[in-house]
Structure formats: structure tokens, C-alpha cells
Amino acid sequence: MFRRIGRFAVHRPWLTIAAWIIAAVALGMLAPGLKATNDETEFLPSHYESVQAAKLQEDAFPHTDQSSATLVFQRTDGGKLDAADVRDVTKVSQGLEAKHYKLVAKVVTAGEKSVSPNREIALAQVVATTKNSYEKDLTDSVKKMREDGKDLIKGTHLKMGITGTAATNLDAQESSGNTDAMVMSATLLLIIVLLLVIFRSPLIAILPVLIIGAVFSVALGLIGTAASLGGLKADPSITAILIVVLFGVGTDYILFLLFRYREQLRAGQQPKEALVEAVARVGETIASAAGAVIAAFLALLLSTMGMMRTWGPSLAISVAVTLIAALTLVPAVFSLLGTKAFWPSKAWKKLPKNRLANSVGSLVSGRPGLMAVLSTAVLAVLAIGAFGFKSDFNTQSQLPQKVESVQAAKDMQKGFSAGQSDPALVYLKSKDGSALSKSTVDGFAAKLGAIDGVDKGHPIAAVMGSHNSVAQYPVVLKYESTDDRAIEIAKGPLRDTAHQAAPEGTQAYVGGTSAVLTDIEKAVNHDYKVVFPVAGLAIMIILGLLLRSLIAPLYLMIAVALGFGATLGATVWLFQDVKGKDGMLFMLPVIVYLFVVAIGTDYNILMVARLREEVRRGVSSREAIRVAVSRSAPTIASAAIILAGSFGVLMISENSMLQQMGFAVAFGILLTAFIMAMLLVPTITSLLGHKAWWPGHQDAPRQTSHASGPAPLREGEQVGRY
């Protein structure tokens, strides 16, 4: 099948290229854009309590404005606020309100009541007309408010900072605002430079970038169409992830094909014949690698998190498009260019010395037992650190500490509780729809106020909803809403007390940011137990179909699991133990799963497929290992360095979340390529010998009607016919 696909693309290149250009232009112009959402409750199933609380808020308080940001005032000299300062706070607040910012209903302060007991801090609340603090118009308004505030406080003794959920979201966006461009630029530069070094050809350095650009346009159009027809919601981060996936996976597949194309040319084949043979030889490998990645991504559909379910099909579509491009568009383009694609280099005419790759191949084949023990030991030691993984939901701890929302939150805590700007929201609802009595409402508030961790200096005042059958209780905690301590209070004491204290005939719901994060943590833990095993099983099935073996997929997945643990463990040691972080990005295991386990499996598949090809030639197991490693090592190393480098650039960011993501993926990809694919997988295969291919016996020597061409050249030998 792959030979037929290759022959069609190679012998009908213009038709193939035209089809891709038409698809890219049509989808780019006609496909609908992605409709993004960042509302956490939309990413959780309806049975979670925080989602039910949000729904109750919409029903019972449809017109209630909500504080989305807090203005924090203090004297420039750090002194006590006097009466004149309080008047200036009111004046500045009124001046900002008069600007009529989008989605901002009002900017209010309570005069002397807004001043902290120690008179060091005064507050004003930015009340929004939307409950979604991620709305772009709202964060833009906060940004303008910061600029306008500088002019309004001139001539006073005050300084002002803005914190709260909308301000934190703004700073999170701005701190990573150039991430997409940074990742894209770094990835393009790495691809171009590395391909230029490997092939010493400007054409080969540029062409993959142009090809993947076309693939990106087609993939994005298909995702947008699928989203529109299927009502799929896309998280804004999907664009950055798509960039890395398409350029990472796309470059991998193009390298797999080009390295084999060059190898066939060096074996003496004509360019078109060599291209067809390259597609035939690595087509099954690329398809199997893509199938494993697609299966892993589609397993995210089983997630309880809407964000995960959104990522799954989007990423699967992008990989499927990349696979089709690798088998059709790439051969078509290089069919037109022939050997001119390698200009001005003539390195394709002779076999390079590749001393390092040959040395690794000889070492692995000569001492497989020692290499297997050493590589397993390295992975196992690193994996120990994974047991110390702690999830961190505190968004402010992930942000650069110099940004305004973080600094203003710290300033506010000089006079108020950290939870002042984003309180937990508890709801008491009458089951039969009857009005709640005052004694019921007040008694419930008293029990909430007695909870350990609730700010006792901020009395809980109930707000009655429609028909007086629902009461809302803003509960100010001592800690910032995304702080681990606030999440623990929402998870335990607050929910336990609210449920137990609800009088007969009523039901209590706990919502707000801390409660949402509690439920997200629960959902993520559930998904780890469901998504990971299903994805692993799907990858094993694909490996089994590729290798016609039950044994090889088993030890390959064990190696993958060990690599996952080693990657997570190394990241935990660096950030929690060395850098002293209280915890790690709670999504980190999923990110490692997506980019290290799923995509990194490509290298294992490439290596095992080449091992099978070599043993089929009838050579000894040791010789097959030596040739497979020495021939595959340059391909794997080049692909891994490109993908790892594009993520590694995130480490220069000041955002701790991006630093963790960048290190984990870069380190994991390099670990997968250089330890697992080059050392562990071939040595285990060598030690198992014939048993590795049971029961299909795919290692049996065989003759094919499609020979790979003339015998391979020796080192330095020229191809005479060109």
C-alpha cells in the first residue's frame, strides 16, 4: 500500500501539490475560526458541585454584578492613610468609573469602611457585568485602568495597584503573551539551522518549514470546521500546542523520510526510485507512529475535563493531516527537485563516517546486558522523584513575582485577608422553592463564619436571590483563592460544614474559584486513572499490529512508562527540591503524557521497525542491532533535538508554569531518544532475541520482490552514476 502511495505522489507531483495548495487556501479562507472559552466551569461535568453552584448563581442572581478586580491603595511613603488620602481614593475610583470601560459596571469604594484596621491599605472594587473574568474586553479594561490610574493619582500621596481574578488573568496572558511567537520563532530557527547542518542544503532547510506551514493551514481549517459542526469549544492554548505538535511531529516524519531517501540514493538508486522506496520502507513506520499518537490523543475524549476533550480531537486531526502530508506532499515536492534538493552539498553521494553513531551501535550490540542495566538504572533513579510530585493550583505563584497583580495582592495582605478579592461563594437553597426565613439565613451564616480559615474580621452578609428561596454567602478566606490552603478549606471544612449545617428542607452548594479548583483536581486525578491506561492499551495494540508480536509491545510500553516516570521525577527534583517550589503545575503529568509519551513513542517505533528490517536480511541479532542503531541514531537525534529545543526555549520565560513545561518536555524527549530508543529498546530486543517477535516471528529472513537497490556503499565511497 505504501509503495503505491509513494509511486502516485512521486510520478504525479504537480497533481499532488495542487491538491494541497487548493485545500490550504480553501480551508484558510472558508473554515470558521475557533471559538475559545476559558471559563473553568465549562470544562467540568455538570455533576460537580462548583458547576451546580455556578448554575444556581446564574438562575437566582442573573443580574447581580460581580467584583472581578480590586484596586489596592497605599501611601507612597508607607505611612498611615489619613482623611485626605481616603478622599483621594474615592476621587480616583470615581474618575476611573467615569471612563466607562467595557464590561465594567462601576468602580466603588466605601470610604472609611474600605480602609484596613491598621490604616495602611484602602480598597476599591471593580464590578463587572460578566461573571467570566477571562473575557478579553474585561482584561483590556483592567489594562487601561492601570494606565489611567497613573494620571489620576498624580498630585496625591497614593500609589495604586490592581489585583483580583481579572488582573491576574491579564498578567498571566501578558507574561506568556509572546509564547506562541517565541515557540514558533525558536522552532523555525532550530529546524532551519539543524537541517542546514545535517544536509548542508538551503533548500532542504527551508522546504520542511513551508510544507508544515501548509499542513498547519489545512489542519487549523479542519479543526475549525469540526468545531463548528460539532459544537466543539477550543481552549486558547490549543494554538500554541498545535504549533509544537505540527512542527515537532511534522519534522520527525519528514526527517524519517529524507534520511531514508538519502540512504537509498547512496545505495545507488535513481532519485524517483529512491523516493518510492523510501516511502515504502518508512511509510508503515510513520503510519504506525502517527497511529500511536492519534490513539493517545483520542484517549483524551474519555477525560471528564472539557479542556482535555477539546485537545484530543484537535491534536488527533493535526497529526492525521501531518501523516498524509508526509506520505504525499513531501515525496511530491522532492520528486520535482530530484538530487538538486541537496545542492550545493554532494554528501548524498557517499556514506559518511558517522563515527559516533557507529560507536554507539557497536557498544549497544557488543554489550547489550550492561547497556540495558545502566539505561534502566538511570530511568529508575530519576523516576523515584515522581513520587514526590505535588500539584499546585496557585496561579500567582506561577507568575513572575514582579507583575502588578502579584505585588498588589501582597500589598493588600498588609491590611486585609488574601481572599478579600475573590471570596468563596456558598449558596443555600430551599428544596421546595419556598422563601428562606431570616433565622435560617442568619444561623447558617454564623456556622460558616466559625470555620477555621475564614476571615473573622469580615462578617458574612447573605444576599437574597430571586423569590428569596436562595441565599448567597460571600465567604472571605484568609488565603488567596488559588492558594493550596484555600483549596483545602473549600474541599474539606467549608463544604463539610455547609452541607451539615444546611437546615432541613434546604441544600447547600459551595462555589467560587477555590471550589472550582477543588473539582478540577478531583477530575484530573480521575482522568489519570482512566485516560493513561486506555491510551497505553491503544498504543500497545498499534505496536502489536505493526510488529505482529505480543512481547515487543509489552516491553516497549514498560520502557515508555519508565520514561514517563523519569521525566516527571527529574522535573520534580529540579523545581521542588532544587528551586524550592511548593508544588508543580497540576497539568504537568498530562503535558508529559501528550508530548513525551505519545510523540516520543515515534523514536521507539522507528528503532524497532529498523531492527525488524535488519534481522529480516538474515544477519545475526548482534549485527542487526549494530546496523539499526548506527543508521537510526542520526535521524532520531536530529528529530529529538528539534522538538526538545522548541520546548526548551520556554525555560527562558519568567513564568514558572512555562519553565516547568519547557524543561519537562525537552528533557523527556531527549531521554526518550537517547536513553530509551538508542540504548534500552535495542538492548532488550537483542537480549530477548527470537522471543521478542513471538508469536508472529517477524524476524524470519525473507526475500522481497522489491529489493532496496544496490548494496550499500562503504564509508567514503562515491556513487559513480551521478
Instruction: Please report the DSSP string for 231-263 in residue order.
Output: T--B-TTHHHHHHHHHHHHHHHHHHHHHHHHHH
pLDDT of residue 715: 44
* Per-residue pLDDT reduced to its tens digit, 628-673: 888 888 888 888 888 888 778 778 777 777 788 889 989 999 999 9
Question: What is the rounded CA–CA span in Å between residue 133 and residue 168?
Answer: 9
pLDDT for 309 beyond 50: yes
Decide: residue 450, CB within 10 A, 0-12 exposed, 13-18 middle, 19+ buried. exposed
CA 69, 75, 78, 83 torsion-angle sign: negative
User: If you average pLDDT over each of 14-18, 109-113, 220-224, which comes out highest?
Assistant: 14-18
pLDDT of 162 above 90: yes
Q: Looking at residue 37, what is its pLDDT?
A: 52
Cell numbers linked to 171: 498578567
State the pLDDT at residue 502: 92
10/335 Cα distance (integer angstroms)? 5
pLDDT one-digit tens code per residue, 361-402: 888 888 888 988 999 999 999 999 999 998 877 666 667 778
- How far is the CA of 721 from the CAs of 212, 267, 399, in angstroms? 33, 11, 61
Average pLDDT of every residue of the chain: 83
From the number of C-beta atoms within 10 Å of its C-beta (0-12, 13-18, 19+), residue 78 rates as: exposed
Q: What is the pLDDT of residue 707?
A: 41
Q: What is the pLDDT of residue 709?
A: 43
pLDDT of residue 307: 72
Q: What DSSP element (H or E) covers 152?
A: helix 136-152
CB 182 within 8 A of CB 439: no
Residue pLDDT, tens place only, 479-533? 888 888 899 999 999 999 999 999 999 999 999 889 988 998 888 888 888 888 8
Higher pLDDT, 366 or 319: 319
CA-based Rg of the chain, rounded to a whole angstrom?
Answer: 30
Is the bond into 695 cis (omega within 30 degrees of 0)? yes
Which of 239-243, 307-311, 409-413 reaches the highest mean pLDDT?
Answer: 409-413
Instruction: Output the CA–CA distances (angstroms, integers) from residue 212 to 26, 270, 324, 361, in the order listed.
Output: 17, 26, 12, 32
Distance separating alpha carbons of residues 248 and 652, to the nearest angstrom: 20
* Model pLDDT, residue 306: 73
State how far the Cα of 21 lies from the Cα of 16, in Å rounded to an integer: 9
CA 388 – CA 376 distance, rounded (Å): 20
Strand pairing partners for 104?
Answer: 128
- What are the tens digits of pLDDT across the range 347-360? 767 766 667 777 88
Please, which residues bridge with residue 161 across strands? 72
Question: For the residues 598-602, what does the mean pLDDT come to?
Answer: 79
* Parallel, antiparallel or unpaired: strands 391-392 and 584-585: parallel
pLDDT mean over 25-54: 72
Mean pLDDT of 321-326: 92
pLDDT at 82: 93
> Looking at 542-652, which runs of residues are DSSP E strands?
584-585
d(CA 68, CA 131): 8
Who's near 481: CB < 8 A, 6+ residues apart?
A: 165, 419, 421, 422, 423, 424, 512, 513, 514, 517
Summarize pLDDT for 550-560 with one digit per residue, the tens. Answer: 888 888 888 88
Closest CA to 462 of 422, 424, 428: 428
pLDDT tens, position by position, 93-113 = 999 999 999 989 899 998 888
Residue 201 grid cell: 542544503
- Residue in 56, 65, 130 with CA at minimum distance from that of residue 427: 56
**Given the C-alpha cell 482522568, which residue does it identify?**
527
**% the chain with pLDDT above 90:** 25
Provide the CA 137 distance to its chain's centre, in angstroms.
Answer: 25
> What cell numbers appear for 473 in the block?
454567602
Spatial CA neighbour of 29 closest among 282, 225, 244: 225
The average pLDDT across 207-214 equals 85
CB atoms inside a 10 Å sphere around CB 34: 21
Q: Is the entire prediction scored with pTM above 0.85?
A: no
Torsion (CA) 438, 443, 448, 451 in degrees, nearest 10: 160
The residue among 314, 335, 334, 329 whose CA lies nearest residue 214 is 329
**CA pair distance 124, 67, nearest whole angstrom:** 10
Q: What is the structure's pLDDT at 708?
A: 43
Residue 429 main-chain phi, psi, to 5 deg: -125, 135
Residue 705: φ, ψ to 5°: -75, -15
Residue 607 · residue 628 · CB < 8 Å: yes
Choose among 187, 292, 300, 312: nearest CA to 665.
187
305 compared with 262, residue with greater pLDDT:
262
pLDDT digits (tens, 9 = 90+) for 131-158: 777 788 899 999 999 999 999 999 999 9
**Whole-angstrom distance, CA of residue 281 vs CA of residue 616:** 13
Shortest CA distance to 323 belongs to which of 411, 211, 231?
Answer: 211
Flag whether pLDDT at 42 surpasses 70: no
Average pLDDT value for residue range 457-482: 86
Q: Which residues pair with 36 in a beta bridge?
A: 234
Burial code of 358-377, b = ≥16 C-beta within 10 A, e = fewer? bebbebbbeebeebbeebbe
